[in-house]
A and B are shown apart, each in its own frame.
Chain A
Amino acid sequence: MSLVVHPWLPNSPKKIKEDMLKTIGVKEVSELFSDIPEKVRFKGEWDKLEIGFGRPLSELEIQRIIDDILSKNKVFKKPPVFLGAGVWPHYVPEVVKYIMSRAEFCTTYTPYQAEISQGLLQALFEYQSMIADLLEMEVVNASMYDWASAVAEAFLMALRVNKGKNRILIPSTMNPMHLEVVKTYTMPRGVVIEKVKYDSVTGLIDLEDLKEKVAKGNVAAVYIENPSFLGFIEENARDVGEIAHDGKALFIMGVDPISLGILKPPGALGADIAVGEGQPLGLGLNYGGPYLGIFAVKWDMKLIRQMPGRLIGLTTTVDGKDRAFTMILQTREQHIRREKATSNICTNEALCALGAAVYLALMGKHGLKKLGELILYRTNYAIKKMNTITGVKAPIFKSLHFKEFTVNFDKTNMPYTKIHKELLKKGIHGGLYLREFFPEFGETALYCVTELHTKDDIDLLIKSLKEIVEGWSR
């Protein structure tokens, strides 16, 4: 018998353990494992395996170790990273953190027992409702893993709704990281994902090319992003939707929710399915996750029945006396429908959805508009200033940009990787180098400006870039 008494293991003291074993009717705990065949038993020295630091550590020991390790990270606060590309540095209100750390929410699970989980159910219902109003779509699920997996699931759903069709049209400027995920999810489906051209001046999706491609038939869905991955506002969204619908294809829109205080919501633009990244709604950067995949459909039972993920609904108690909440339409889900389910998703990002609900409640009816304008103005200020640097052009497309924009450095004769390193030396983290994804754009990087980047931060970036590239060309 191993002899570990641990604060997380209330029955680990020898006396309790022995009592319990006695009740069970065994002498040694190993008897409870006697059915594990000899051949598969672990035979090495378990305690000598590299697992943790070789022995149980106390709280104060691990704190010290972690502190040493984390001091090797560089955190960009002033200015924050000018890096977006799918998740963005945004402010996380203290109230959001505070509510998300409430133990009752944090330490519970999927509300399988509705009567004792009403608080969580109501909070998730409010998340669904507030996102629904933000999107002007009627039905929102209680979360997917992230935007990328949400769009991948949206494509799979479109293939189910439009059975027999196997083409999906996407913009050529689609978030390349999302596209990778889409490829993984659709790999077994024999789908043809086709890129629609963009207007070489504005970057907007080329409506003529879209029409031609739709006219060829067999299109299950047309997808666009607003704002696009490159930050420009896809102002022809409604036309795209109409063309899609003319071809009997579903219109799927991907959105950044933080833009929806100032930009038309997908529901008003004719979208059948909307997806997006909820990370800006108070969730932080977290080096990769957790984030929040938004997934919504308009009111259409044909669509709703094909939705992936959990749904919370409003109902009453059986006696009709009280309002009540519960999980609904579960016959779509894996635990009931198994291989015929609309998705395999089980554990989702519910706590992030809760955080987003708190965020939206704080922002209220007018907050997102104000925030959107702040970001819009700062973005365009940064763009304007970028163009004062010799050899720098921003953005590469002539359209209105929000939060992100491309910056081209071709004329500086300086490789962007070099510029990036020089910026780092000055304590600034620049945008994402796009060569890997869009080689046709040359030495271009994608920069991001949010409410966290003050005018001083932007000015510092511009000044630093100036020093770097103008110093280089001299």
Chain B
Amino acid sequence: MVFKQAKWDEPLIYELGCEGRIGFLVPEVEEDIRREVGEIQIPDKIRRENPPELPELSEVEVVRHFIRLSQMTYGVDNGPIPLGSCTMKYNPKISESIASDPRITLLHPLQDEDTVQGLLEIMYLLQKWLANIVGMDVCTLHPAAGAHSELAGVLIIRKYHELKGQLNRKKEIIVPDSAHGTNPASAAMAGFRVVTVRSAPDGNIDIEAVKAVVSDRTAGLMLTNPNTLGLFEENIVELAEIIHEVDGLLYYDGANLNGIMGYTRPGDMGFDIAHINIHKTFGSPHGGGGPGAGPLCVKERIVDPERNIKLSDLLPGPIVKYDNVRKKYYLKKPGKYSIGWLKSFFANTIPLIKAFIYIACLGPQGLKEVTEQAVINTNYFIKKLKDTKGYSLPYDPERYRKHEVVFSAKPMTQDVGVTAEDVCKGLLDAGFYAPTMYFPLIVQEALMIEFTDTETKENIDKYAERMKEIAKIAYENPEEAKKWPRNTVVTRVDLVKANHPKTVTPSWRVLKLRKEGKIK
């Protein structure tokens, strides 16, 4: 059987509809109100003269248009999305249903605390559960995503050194070369110089290289463990010592938490600060790019004994607390040592509700099982694919991986010119989403694969079979591989045209203005 993605010849929404149609009936201003206030004149200089150039569609046309677009999209509910580092697990439907309860969706974030006690209770429990899962003392749910939390984390590192009067020295953050792009980007946003450290052949961070760059200037280290190769950093104890030795802080990028639950925790490993990607480990859907949520947790480390400042005092945003006397939950606003606010309001509540349900439905036993499943799936897949001509497994192929594995298509590329990208397109053609490609940067022709805990053995088998088949075709008929994909909505997309300054088209408006010769 062949996979064929649904393909509608669906125009842009601007090309649909007809003048005069409406998709929503806006109520009329009440006559009594009009009479009471009279005609309101908006000053000419601020009144919109021309209506926005939006299309005019009836309700049914809007629905059909977007339903067709949805059918030309591939989600976890369609099949496996083993995008490494993204933890694309199944998103439980019970969570979707509960999170759409009006007793949640109709709550205003500035509503009186007395009227949101139920919501705060859920968030209070979630803070505690997450703290236990990562082995930290205090969590804030405030940041909107992993990267948002990273920014908060490095700002905390900055504040820590500022409060200790050593910020003038503490100017560098160490990041391994295998790190996700958000790590160095976040460190730079917080004003740090990023010092990149290479990985050793065994896939661990090169401890000698770390020693060579650690100094008085080291403000902290950002690390994800298991790392982006799916390998557990075995030197973590020594690393923590080295960084703490110079009074640096250890930041844990929680993107890979799915690989260790129940076995070890960032807190056990010596990390001081850790973020959690709710949309990865805790099953809230990725929404085509977002929303997610990125709680941030810290150890209750003393920053300044004299002023009694603890690391948790630096956390951003409000934290849910319980007042034993008043028997009420409340939001504790960031205090004077906090790095402040990262978004206007409390947190991305909806994904957090989903995480609450996810954790409740699995319990501690289930979460440990989640990790075991994720790790078994990875190593099972490795066994199936390893030693296939065309692929290699860089960085100690004998070591067990955790939640993900990074294969390389370099042998195939060198031998017959078929690249990791071609392999990906060949997977799409079989009805699978592709792995994350060309990341981490330390692996050439990288294919980063993470099935997560929710993929069936049958699909993992099929995925491996398809990758083997692709390799076989690559060697027999490399030209064929360049023609993939054929079964998706479109064939290969022209990226040069997409990005060239003369043709780049980020909106319908640009297309129109260019046609009219109004922009170059």
Which residues of chain A from 5 to 60 have any CB-CB distance to chain B below 8 Å in the complex?
6, 8-12, 16-17, 19-21, 23-25, 29, 31-37, 39-42, 46-59
Residue A86 CB within 8 A of the other chain? yes
Interface contact A16-B117, CB-CB below 8 Å: no
Chain B residues in 8 Å Cβ range of A20:
376-377, 380, 457
Interface contact B289-A109, CB-CB below 8 Å: yes
Instruction: Please measure, in the bound complex, the distance between the C-alpha atom of A443 and the C-alpha atom of B438, giving whole angstroms.
Output: 58
Which residues of chain A from 167 to 197 have any CB-CB distance to chain B below 8 Å in the complex?
175, 177-178, 180-181, 183-185, 187-189
Interface contact B359-A52, CB-CB below 8 Å: yes
Interface contact B433-A113, CB-CB below 8 Å: yes
Which residues of chain B from 219 to 253 have any CB-CB distance to chain A below 8 Å in the complex?
231-232, 234, 236-237
Partner of B151, one of A33, A129, A175, A344: A344
Which residues of chain B from 71 to 117 have any CB-CB distance to chain A below 8 Å in the complex?
71-78, 81, 83, 86, 88-92, 94, 96, 98, 100-112, 114-117
Interface contact A47-B364, CB-CB below 8 Å: yes
**Of listed A122, A233, A310, residue having the most chain B CB within 10 A:** A122
Interface contact A53-B43, CB-CB below 8 Å: no
**Of listed B145, B339, B365, B377, residue having the most chain A CB within 10 A:** B365
Partner of B145, one of A262, A347, A381: A347
| Known contacts A72-B117, A95-B59; is-contact A374 B26 (Cβ 8 Å) | yes
Chain B residues in 8 Å Cβ range of A66:
98, 101, 122, 357
Residue A216 CB within 8 A of the other chain? no
Instruction: Please measure, in the bound complex, the distance between the C-alpha atom of A16 and the C-alpha atom of B369, giving whole angstroms.
Output: 13
Interface contact A122-B369, CB-CB below 8 Å: no
Which residues of chain B from 42 to 81 have any CB-CB distance to chain A below 8 Å in the complex?
42-43, 45-49, 51-57, 59, 62-63, 65-78, 81
Partner of B344, one of A56, A111, A178, A380: A178
Interface contact B188-A83, CB-CB below 8 Å: no
Chain A residues in 8 Å Cβ range of B32:
455
Residue B519 CB within 8 A of the other chain? yes
Instruction: Please measure, in the bound complex, the distance between the C-alpha atom of A146 and the C-alpha atom of B290, giving whole angstroms.
Output: 12
Residue B148 CB within 8 A of the other chain? yes
Interface contact B491-A115, CB-CB below 8 Å: yes
Interface string of A318-353 (1 = CB under 8 A from B): 111110111011000111111111011111111110
Instruction: Please measure, in the bound complex, the distance between the C-alpha atom of A362 and the C-alpha atom of B16, giving whole angstroms.
Output: 12
**Of listed A16, A33, A113, A136, residue having the most chain B CB within 10 A:** A113
Chain B residues in 8 Å Cβ range of A294:
none
Chain B residues in 8 Å Cβ range of A340:
188
Interface contact B47-A264, CB-CB below 8 Å: yes
Instruction: Please measure, in the bound complex, the distance between the C-alpha atom of A370 and the C-alpha atom of B236, giving whole angstroms.
Output: 61
Interface contact B285-A55, CB-CB below 8 Å: no
Which residues of chain B from 484 to 520 have any CB-CB distance to chain A below 8 Å in the complex?
485, 488-495, 497-499, 501, 503-511, 513, 519
Interface contact A188-B155, CB-CB below 8 Å: yes
Residue ID in chain A nearest B333 by CB atoms: A436
Interface contact A73-B107, CB-CB below 8 Å: yes
Partner of B40, one of A33, A81, A107, A377: A377
Instruction: Please measure, in the bound complex, the distance between the C-alpha atom of A315 and the C-alpha atom of B497, giving whole angstroms.
Output: 6
Chain B residues in 8 Å Cβ range of A99:
63, 66-67, 70
Interface string of A104-122 (1 = CB under 8 A from B): 1111111111111111101
Chain A residues in 8 Å Cβ range of B365:
2, 4, 47, 55-56
Instruction: Please measure, in the bound complex, the distance between the C-alpha atom of A132 and the C-alpha atom of B369, giving whole angstroms.
Output: 47
Stretch at the interface among A244-252, A285-293, A390-398, A407-415: A285-293
Chain A residues in 8 Å Cβ range of B379:
24, 32
Instruction: Please measure, in the bound complex, the distance between the C-alpha atom of A17 and the C-alpha atom of B65, giving whole angstroms.
Output: 43
Interface contact B144-A287, CB-CB below 8 Å: no
Interface contact B366-A4, CB-CB below 8 Å: yes
B183 to chain A, nearest CB (A): 8
Instruction: Please measure, in the bound complex, the distance between the C-alpha atom of A114 and the C-alpha atom of B5, giving whole angstroms.
Output: 13
Stretch at the interface among A137-145, A207-215, A466-474: A137-145
Residue A435 CB within 8 A of the other chain? no
Residue A356 CB within 8 A of the other chain? no
| Known contacts A20-B380, A184-B339; is-contact A290 B184 (Cβ 8 Å) | no
Residue ID in chain A nearest B484 by CB atoms: A115
Instruction: Please measure, in the bound complex, the distance between the C-alpha atom of A92 and the C-alpha atom of B102, giving whole angstroms.
Output: 12
Instruction: Please measure, in the bound complex, the distance between the C-alpha atom of A6 and the C-alpha atom of B13, giving whole angstroms.
Output: 42
Chain A residues in 8 Å Cβ range of B86:
109
Chain A residues in 8 Å Cβ range of B122:
66, 69
Chain B residues in 8 Å Cβ range of A389:
none
Interface contact B344-A177, CB-CB below 8 Å: yes
Interface contact A348-B368, CB-CB below 8 Å: no
Interface string of B358-386 (1 = CB under 8 A from A): 01111111111110110111011011100
A-B contact count (CB 8 A): 728
Instruction: Please measure, in the bound complex, the distance between the C-alpha atom of A470 and the C-alpha atom of B500, giving whole angstroms.
Output: 67
A324 to chain B, nearest CB (A): 5
Interface contact B345-A86, CB-CB below 8 Å: yes
Instruction: Please measure, in the bound complex, the distance between the C-alpha atom of A77 and the C-alpha atom of B106, giving whole angstroms.
Output: 8
Interface contact B69-A122, CB-CB below 8 Å: yes
How many residues belonging to A are interface residues under a CB distance threshold of 8 Å? Answer: 216
Partner of A134, one of B23, B52, B501: B52
Residue A419 CB within 8 A of the other chain? no
Interface contact B182-A334, CB-CB below 8 Å: yes
Interface contact B23-A95, CB-CB below 8 Å: yes
Chain B residues in 8 Å Cβ range of A35:
231-232, 234, 399-400
| Known contacts A29-B372, A106-B91; is-contact A115 B361 (Cβ 8 Å) | no
Which residues of chain B from 452 to 467 have any CB-CB distance to chain A below 8 Å in the complex?
453-457
Interface contact B493-A315, CB-CB below 8 Å: yes
Interface contact A289-B350, CB-CB below 8 Å: yes
Interface contact B144-A145, CB-CB below 8 Å: yes
Partner of A315, one of B52, B118, B360, B503: B503
Interface contact A366-B51, CB-CB below 8 Å: yes
Residue B409 CB within 8 A of the other chain? no
Chain A residues in 8 Å Cβ range of B456:
10-11
Residue B417 CB within 8 A of the other chain? no
Which residues of chain B from 377 to 428 have any CB-CB distance to chain A below 8 Å in the complex?
377, 379-380, 382-384, 399-400, 402, 424-425, 428
Instruction: Please measure, in the bound complex, the distance between the C-alpha atom of A1 and the C-alpha atom of B104, giving whole angstroms.
Output: 38
Residue B176 CB within 8 A of the other chain? no
Residue B478 CB within 8 A of the other chain? no
Instruction: Please measure, in the bound complex, the distance between the C-alpha atom of A310 and the C-alpha atom of B351, giving whole angstroms.
Output: 21
Chain B residues in 8 Å Cβ range of A200:
none
Interface contact A8-B454, CB-CB below 8 Å: yes
Residue B270 CB within 8 A of the other chain? yes
**Of listed B129, B234, B372, B436, residue having the most chain A CB within 10 A:** B372
Chain A residues in 8 Å Cβ range of B384:
23
Partner of B191, one of A188, A261, A312: A188
Chain A residues in 8 Å Cβ range of B425:
113, 115
Instruction: Please measure, in the bound complex, the distance between the C-alpha atom of A325 and the C-alpha atom of B22, giving whole angstroms.
Output: 27
Residue ID in chain B nearest A141 by CB atoms: B506
Residue ID in chain B nearest A189 by CB atoms: B191
Interface contact A287-B57, CB-CB below 8 Å: no
Interface contact B186-A344, CB-CB below 8 Å: yes
Partner of B108, one of A57, A83, A107, A318: A83
Interface contact A318-B498, CB-CB below 8 Å: no
**Of listed A34, A74, A175, residue having the most chain B CB within 10 A:** A74
Could you list 17 examples of A-B contacts with CB < 8 Å?
Answer: A12-B369, A40-B270, A97-B100, A107-B75, A112-B434, A115-B492, A125-B12, A177-B345, A288-B347, A290-B290, A313-B506, A318-B494, A344-B188, A364-B24, A368-B52, A368-B54, A454-B30
Other A-B pairs beyond A73-B103, A289-B350, 15, CB < 8 Å: A52-B129, A63-B98, A66-B357, A73-B117, A87-B344, A113-B434, A115-B490, A146-B144, A284-B105, A315-B498, A324-B493, A346-B181, A361-B62, A368-B51, A381-B36
Closest 3 CB pairs between A and B? Answer: A188-B191, A350-B289, A351-B287
